[in-house]
Amino acid sequence: MEATFRALSEHGYSELRMRDIGEELDVSRSLIHYHYDSKHDLISAFLEYIVEQYEGSVDVTEETDPWSELDRRIDQCLFGPEFDDGFGHWERMRVYHELFSQAQHDERHQEIFNRHYERIRGSITQVIERGIEEEMFRTVNADEIAQLITDIIHVARERKISLGQDDAPEQARRAIDTFVLASLVNPEFVVTSMKSSN
Amino acid sequence: MEATFRALSEHGYSELRMRDIGEELDVSRSLIHYHYDSKHDLISAFLEYIVEQYEGSVDVTEETDPWSELDRRIDQCLFGPEFDDGFGHWERMRVYHELFSQAQHDERHQEIFNRHYERIRGSITQVIERGIEEEMFRTVNADEIAQLITDIIHVARERKISLGQDDAPEQARRAIDTFVLASLVNPEFVVTSMKSSN
């Protein structure tokens, strides 16, 4: 999968051949084909891999409160986890966004992308729903808010990648805080916690 | 410019040659070169043309109140003006978004795009500032809000184009209303108008 990242980064999706991934790995094309029937299978596994790298590595446990979890998930998507091997967050995001913009040209590819996009949005929906249950958040439309957060993150990365607007991610973080997360605050919860801590 | 639209729609930016535009117009390549020194000049004029098609055609006069102007500008960007010739809003937006995603590969191209993006965002900033002056809107950070509106519009079009999510534009319109425009309402202005109408 790391070889796929590097091959996609170098060749782009439309020019990518199984052979390029083989070259990155120093193995034959047929070995790659042994594991992945087609470019579609590979891209599907690859998107799974990216989602896992970003979603799976968020530092949360069952004890993490919904605010902190939401915070960490947003920051992970915007600013990325740490990577050891020098192929960093923005190089990875450049590959991801290129795949995204090409998804329109292939129905199967588009389907895979929709599924993975749904998973990213879904984990934000879940933490908002948990916050509502625990009465930390107001009773809001969790799907709508998760969509908006996902959208703001997506476009900020794109403005940085496509237009070179390097402050876009920080700007997006402030916009999410001001316009979206502020609407989650349950004022009664704050009062209750303050009372119980007295 | 319409020929450029059609040629870009057919060939994509990276494959576009001046000759393709000539073919669309039934004129020679050299006539195109007579007007535009390079692909860059052409793309610059072309982006100007798109912005004008969307911005210039919004139905507003000096008497239009800031709420209505904002509404119409948002709808125009999301749902497009009417086009006579069968080459409609979404075909146009597909070309625009492809150019956007390719902007990263060329510094001059990126600069042109940034300038045009700034103009789109700027006209939203202006109407918000007018609303604040006329005390219809609260005193907010107009730049921040204009950026957020532009971003939500951009990503909704992209979700429709790249992922085939056809309800994205309507969803975006609701999100803008709920999370962004709601924060503009100046409660004192409503009271004042109600008083004066009694």
Question: Within B66-141, where are the H helices?
Answer: 66-79, 89-102, 107-133
**Contacts B163 to A, Cβ<8 Å:** 100, 103-104, 110, 113-114, 117
pLDDT for A190 equals: 66
- What are the tens digits of pLDDT across the range A37-74? 777 888 888 888 888 888 888 888 888 999 999 999 99
Say whether pLDDT at B198 is over 60.
Answer: no
Q: Average of pLDDT values for A26-34?
A: 75
Which segment, A111-115, A163-167, B40-44, B87-91, is predicted with the most confidence on average? A163-167
Helix, strand, or coil here: B185? strand
pLDDT for B169 equals: 97
Q: What percent of chain A is modeled with pLDDT above 90?
A: 46
Amino acid of residue A161: I
In a domain, A6, yes or no: no
**B155/A155 CB distance under 8 A:** yes
Q: Average of pLDDT values for A128-146?
A: 95
Neighbours of A79 (CB within 10 A): 13
Q: Average of pLDDT values for A161-190?
A: 92
Instruction: Show which residues on chain B lie within 8 Å of chain A, measured between beta carbons.
Output: 94, 97-98, 100-104, 110, 113-114, 117, 144, 147-148, 151-152, 154-156, 158-159, 161-165, 171-172, 174-175, 178-180, 183
pLDDT confidence band for B32 (50 / 70 / 90):
confident
Say whether pLDDT at B128 is over 90.
Answer: yes
pLDDT confidence band for B136 (50 / 70 / 90):
very high
In A, minimum Cα distance to B115 occurs at A163
Whole-number Å distance between alpha carbons of A15 and A92: 17
pLDDT for A58 equals: 87
Burial of residue B56, with CB atoms counted within 10 A of its CB: 0-12 exposed, 13-18 middle, 19 or more buried: exposed
**B104/A165 CB distance under 8 A:** no
Q: Report the gap between the CA of A13 and the closest CA in chain B (Å).
A: 13
In a domain, A116, yes or no: yes
pLDDT for A24 equals: 79
Domain count, chain B: 1
Determine which of B13, B90, B147, B170 to mutate to test the interface with A (most A C-beta atoms within 10 Å). B147
**Contacts B154 to A, Cβ<8 Å:** 155, 158
**Contacts B11 to A, Cβ<8 Å:** none
**B155/A159 CB distance under 8 A:** no
Q: Are B122 and B110 in contact (CB under 8 A)?
A: no
In a domain, A164, yes or no: yes
**Contacts B144 to A, Cβ<8 Å:** 171, 174-175, 178
Whole-number Å distance between alpha carbons of A172 and A151: 10
Say whether pLDDT at B117 is over 70.
Answer: yes
In B, minimum Cα distance to A146 occurs at B175
Instruction: Give A87 or B173, the one with higher predicted confidence.
Output: B173
Question: Tokens 């794109």 identify what position?
Answer: A158
**B155/A154 CB distance under 8 A:** yes
Q: What CATH code is carried by the domain that includes residue A144?
A: 1.10.357.10
pLDDT for A194 equals: 53
In a domain, B198, yes or no: no
Phi, psi of A137 (to 5 degrees): -105, 155
Q: Average of pLDDT values for B168-173?
A: 97
Six token digits for residue A107 = 């129905």
Q: What is the mean pLDDT of chain B?
A: 87
pLDDT for B101 equals: 87
**Contacts B165 to A, Cβ<8 Å:** 114
Q: Report the gap between the CA of B27 and the closest CA in chain A (Å).
A: 31
For A12-16, B57-61, B71-75, B121-125, which range has the lowest pLDDT when averaged over its residues?
A12-16
pLDDT confidence band for B36 (50 / 70 / 90):
confident
In B, minimum Cα distance to A104 occurs at B162
Determine which of A95, A104, A141 to mutate to test the interface with B (most B C-beta atoms within 10 Å). A104
In a domain, A137, yes or no: yes
**B148/A148 CB distance under 8 A:** no
In a domain, A18, yes or no: no
pLDDT for B164 equals: 94
pLDDT for A17 equals: 78
Nearest to B154 among A155, A171, A175 (CB): A155
**Contacts B100 to A, Cβ<8 Å:** 158, 162-163
Instruction: Give A16 or A10, the one with higher predicted confidence.
Output: A10
pLDDT for A191 equals: 60
pLDDT confidence band for A198 (50 / 70 / 90):
very low
Say whether pLDDT at B183 is over 60.
Answer: yes
In a domain, A149, yes or no: yes
pLDDT confidence band for B104 (50 / 70 / 90):
confident
**A114/B144 CB distance under 8 A:** no
In a domain, A150, yes or no: yes
pLDDT for B82 equals: 86
CA distances from B62 to B68, B100, B138, B157, B193 (A): 12, 32, 21, 29, 20
User: What is the domain extent for residue A130?
Assistant: 40-189
Q: Average of pLDDT values for A116-121?
A: 90
Q: Report the gap between the CA of B64 and the closest CA in chain A (Å).
A: 27
Phi, psi of A41 (to 5 degrees): -60, -45
